[in-house]
A and B are shown apart, each in its own frame.
Chain A
Amino acid sequence: MAIKLSGRIDSNNAASVEQEIMEKLDSSNPSVVIDATDLAYISSAGLRVLLRIRKAYPHMEIHGVNSDVYEILDMTGFTEMMKVEKAYRVVSVEGCEEIGHGANGKIYRIDQDNVVKVYKNADALADIQHEREVAKLALILGIPTAISYDVVRVGESYGSVFEMLNARSFSKILETEPDKMDWCVGEYVELLKKIHGTLVPKGKLPDMKETVVSWAEFMQDHLPEEAGKKLLDMVKAVPQDDHMIHGDYHTKNVELQNDEILLIDMDTLAVGNPIFELGSIFNAFIGFSELDHNVIKEFQGYDYETAGTFWHKFLAAYLETDCETKIREVEDKARIIGYTRLIRRSIRRGGLETEEGRREIDFWKTRLLELLERTDKLTFNPMELELEAIPENLEEVQAFVDDRLEKTDCSPKAQMQIDVAVEEIFINIASYAYAPDKGKAVVRVEVSDDPVTVKITFVDHGIPYDPLAKEDPDVNLPADQRDAGGLGIFMTKKFMDDVNYTYMDGQNILTLMKNL
């Protein structure tokens, strides 16, 4: 039974309104809906009337509540006691600028101060509620984001309205002011590091790993058995991680508002290892448009080449290194996640049923199989570099170590001493560990504070060899009686505060330690 209320209900008319309602109600029909579409105001006298009706009809609902009345009902706790449905303002986005584009909807600027995110799903109220909650959570945890203040009706869909003044997305900046690329990269990385450094209380956000495991499980029917198993094993081996990931971190979702960076489109917020995020970022810049370079232009406004440059600069800055080997290592892992998602997405959309779809899936699958071949794990350690132990890689190793030292106040002299020691150890491994074959070496840098100490560890799987066992050369002999042998290790010992060698589990492990 519907009861329509209109105008104002206050102490002047509360009694008569109550009587009127009670006369209309029929105790044989327990469902009561109060239609408040035309209700302009309700005072506490009016609220008491509602309470008495509810006492007789516990399933009472109030529909079509305007925002003033909703505020009263919300403040007095009525919204928690009974079902109260807001009346939705109707907003049109026709002719409005599209400023963002997410997994679940598009964002339009509706006037100078406000934007609306229109959800694709026509039954989106639960999604909107979810996004509001996760945005609130992110804000409380220190992530700069916007929280919607109103839910509106946009055509057949719902939208949530945000206040956003003078905001420009990073996509727009990159499109119109290409010389700001490096600045954008810096801010983009800083915000992402903040997100990835944010611990989320357990159970508040979905675990991205579960999602990616489900992708990898899906892939079992579409990859050769061995490759499929490797993919699933690698995803499962990624450790549980309670740090935040955004899930759709592309340049349209990062906004510059006055001088503040704001993150929007929070509905994909999750927790997990950063590699899952990097996989989705790879797709945003490269994956989605690798086959058709126009895709990125349509989606982001800038071209495929700009996207590629941004992606590479982003990875270098995120990993804090210019070392190409390191960048490529992490890129490979991100691509594995990216292609897995693209293939699954395409197959689920019927990609296998069309010629073009099959061609796309083949393209991604070929790359995925190559990557799976040469990758053993999906996690990465920014402080660790694995590469082929050949002399030509020396500069890469030194550049990597130097980048790690940059964060400390390392003097040029100490840096040169460390470089020399790193060279001697790495060249030793490159020359002897695997000769005449080739093999890999791992270089790990650890910096600890107070006192500032750098520890560099070299690991190889070559023949056991202790370079420290050699006797020190006599550095006091005249030139004609000297040979240059052993000088490298001699300098290493002199320049470092501690040098240590062990052979363990088939590995040569050599550590250098220096107080800075």
Chain B
Amino acid sequence: MLNIQKTIDGSCATLVLEGRLDSVTSEELENELVETLDDMTELVLDLEKLEYLSSAGLRVLLSAQKIMNKKGSMKVTNVCDTVMEIFEVTGFSDILTIE
């Protein structure tokens, strides 16, 4: 189960992710990003309520980062310890802007 709450403020999109970002749910985030990112220069992913993240989720985060690198910036906020561990092991802590 993944819940995505989106707020748009001008050209800044904030997505609050709640639940699980895994092989089954990551497609939902992917679709949401495709729909949203066109007119955006800033993307904030709030992970405070994200309980679980696997490689399928990382794949979506990486592609979002690649898109935003070309047209603006992306940051990831409120990362809990267990998710942080995953970012660190996979080198994503160097790729993503984590606040």
Which residues of A line the B interface, CB within 8 A? 391-392, 394-395, 412-413, 416-417, 419-420, 423-424, 427, 475-480, 482-484, 487-488, 490-491, 494-495
Contact = CB atoms under 8 A, between A and B. Distances in A.
Given A391-B23, A391-B24, A392-B24, A487 B82 contact: no
B30 to A, nearest CB: 12
Interface of B: 20, 22-24, 52-56, 58-59, 62-63, 65-66, 69, 81-82, 85-86, 89-91, 94-95
A391 B54 CA distance: 13
Given A391-B24, A423-B22, A480-B66, A487 B85 contact: no
A495 B88 CA distance: 12
Nearest to A486: B55
Nearest to A474: B91
Given A395-B24, A484-B58, A484-B62, A491 B69 contact: no
A479 B62 contact: yes
Given A392-B24, A479-B66, A484-B63, 8 more contacts: A391-B24, A412-B82, A424-B55, A479-B65, A480-B66, A484-B59, A484-B62, A487-B59
Contacts of A416: 52, 82, 85-86
What DSSP secondary structure best describes chain B's contact surface?
helix
Given A482-B95, A484-B55, A394 B22 contact: yes
Nearest to B61: A484
Given A424-B54, A487-B58, A413 B81 contact: yes
B69 A427 contact: no
A482 B86 contact: no
A420 B54 contact: yes
Contacts, number: 69
B90 A413 contact: no
Contacts of A484: 55, 58-59, 62-63
Given A487-B58, A491-B89, A495-B89, A476 B94 contact: yes
B95 A478 contact: yes
Given A475-B90, A479-B66, A480-B69, A488 B55 contact: yes
A47 B52 CA distance: 82
A390 to B, nearest CB: 10
A419 B62 contact: no
A488 B23 CA distance: 11
7 nearest A-B pairs in the assembled complex, by CB-CB distance:
A475-B91, A488-B55, A484-B59, A487-B55, A479-B95, A416-B82, A427-B23
A441 to B, nearest CB: 14
21 contacts: A392-B24, A413-B82, A416-B85, A416-B86, A419-B52, A419-B54, A423-B22, A423-B55, A423-B56, A475-B89, A478-B94, A478-B95, A479-B65, A482-B95, A487-B59, A488-B54, A490-B90, A491-B86, A491-B89, A494-B89, A495-B89
